Amino acid sequence: MKIILDFDHTLFDTPRLKRAVESVFLKHGVSHDLFLRTLEQSKGEGRDWKPERQFAILKSRGVPHVDSIKDDFVQVLHGSHVFLYEDTLPFLEKISKDNSLALLTYGEDSFQNMKLEGCGRATKYFKKIVITQNIYKDKEANDLSGGAKSLFVDDNPTALSATKQYAPHIVTVRIKRGEGRYENEPSSGGIDYEVKGLGEVEDLISRL
């Protein structure tokens, strides 16, 4: 079976990365408030954090040490595998034996690539990796499925609903780990299963 997996909040503890990055900013004298405000500004029209843009905003305001913040930020990202959830690697190793894995992640290319590059021990299990700026992921998930029976695991209920509508043959699984941006958004239509962790996805795969 094809298994399509989201990255942030599904395999990767993005809130923990955010806290680690914030501590870099704080170390160099950027306040919690300024960090959050410029992070929000970096999103522009989109919903995703764009660190490069955030650095540019800080520089344009004359904030000192931005280059040092950037250097330390890059170091944090180099070791980003420490932010993988505990169940991620065992899960990937197990299911990759009998299934074809694809990663489908939403966000800015350069930031997503940096995160993924630090997670080589996870990304090696994927036959395909797609970074998209389409928050709904519907067409991309359909392409990755190749029309075959597939499972799509994501924490974002909107992406799952849109995918189900566009590609009804895809089994949609919402992962709710108890934190994350979409945690309090209700499940809308088109979600086949809801799980709390990847162990449950493993059980699901063996039953389908």
Q: Which helix (H) or strand (E) holds 154?
A: strand 150-154
In sequence order, the 6+-apart residues with CB closer than 8 A to the CB of 88 are 11, 12, 122, 198
Q: How far apart are the first and last CA of the chain?
A: 9
**CB 39 → Mg ion: shortest distance, Å?**
17
Q: With beta carbons less than 8 A apart as the criterion, state whether 23 and 165 touch.
A: no
Which of the ranges 8-16, 127-135, 171-179, 192-200 carries the binding residues for Mg ion, by CB under 5 A? 8-16
Q: Taking CB under 5 A as the criterion, which residues in 145-204 touch Mg ion?
A: 155
**Shortest Cβ distance from residue 27 to Mg ion (Å)?**
28
Q: Is 13 in the site for Mg ion (CB under 5 A)?
A: no
- Residue number with CB closer to Mg ion (108 or 155): 155
Interaction between residue 6 and Mg ion (CB under 5 A) = yes
Backbone angles phi, psi at 155, to 5 degrees: -90, -10
> Is 138 among the residues that bind Mg ion (CB under 5 A)?
no
Taking CB under 5 A as the rule, does residue 9 contact Mg ion?
yes
**Distance of alpha carbon 198 from alpha carbon 62, whole angstroms:** 44
DSSP 84: B
Piece of the chain touching Mg ion by CB under 5 A; list 9-17, 48-56, 119-127, 162-170: 9-17
Of 2, 8, 30, 57, the one binding Mg ion (CB under 5 A) is: 8
* Shortest CB 38 distance to Mg ion, Å: 22
Decide: is 140 part of the binding site for Mg ion (CB under 5 A).
no
Rounded CA gap, 180 and 155, in Å?
8
Three-state DSSP at 102 gives strand
Nearer to Mg ion, 6 or 72 (CB): 6
Segment contacting Mg ion by CB under 5 A, of 3-11, 74-82, 125-133, 137-145: 3-11
Candidate ranges 5-13, 36-44, 84-92, 134-142; the one touching Mg ion (CB under 5 A) = 5-13
Coil vs helix vs strand at 107 = coil
Residue 65 in contact with residue 29, Cβ under 8 Å? yes
Residues that bind Mg ion (CB under 5 A): 6, 8-9, 155
